[in-house]
Amino acid sequence: MAGTVEGATSTASAVVRCDTCGAKNRVPPVAEGVRRCGKCHNPLPWIVPADDSSFDAVAVGARLPVLVDLWATWCGPCRAVSPALEQVARRLAGRLKLVKVEVDTSPAQALEAWVEQALALQ
């Protein structure tokens, strides 16, 4: 699982607003360590999308604990839960990575891999 982040170019950077100073920051889906605000250097909430091709690099290879938000446009409960998860990600900025996966377009395969890995870590 360690390391190779090259090749994870299919997902664009997300723009995240700094809760401390309000500056907008580009947050790459795959990076080493903690994302910090370019202006005030406080940890940023790390909320990024992942799909089939990027899930391994974005989530499985992450250095921080990963929370996976599985959502779908047709799923009412998902839409209710997502903002709560984003709040958690903001509160735990620098300590948690929130990865949003749209189940319609994504990764039975990658999710299986992730669940296996999560179980292996127990």
In whole angstroms, how close is the CB of 87 to Zn ion at the nearest point? Answer: 18
Binding mask 82-111 for Zn ion (x = CB under 5 A): ------------------------------
Q: Total residues contacting Zn ion (rule CB under 5 A)?
A: 7
Contact 55, 110 (CB under 8 A): yes
Q: Pick the catalytic residue: 18, 21, 40, 75?
A: 75
Contact 102, 72 (CB under 8 A): yes
Site for Zn ion in 18-77 (CB under 5 A): 18, 20-21, 23, 37, 39-40
DSSP bridge pairs for 15: 26
Residue 37 zone, left/alpha/beta (φ > 0; ψ -120 to 50; rest): beta
| Whether residue 78 lies in the annotated active site | yes
Q: Which residues are the active-site residues?
A: 75, 78
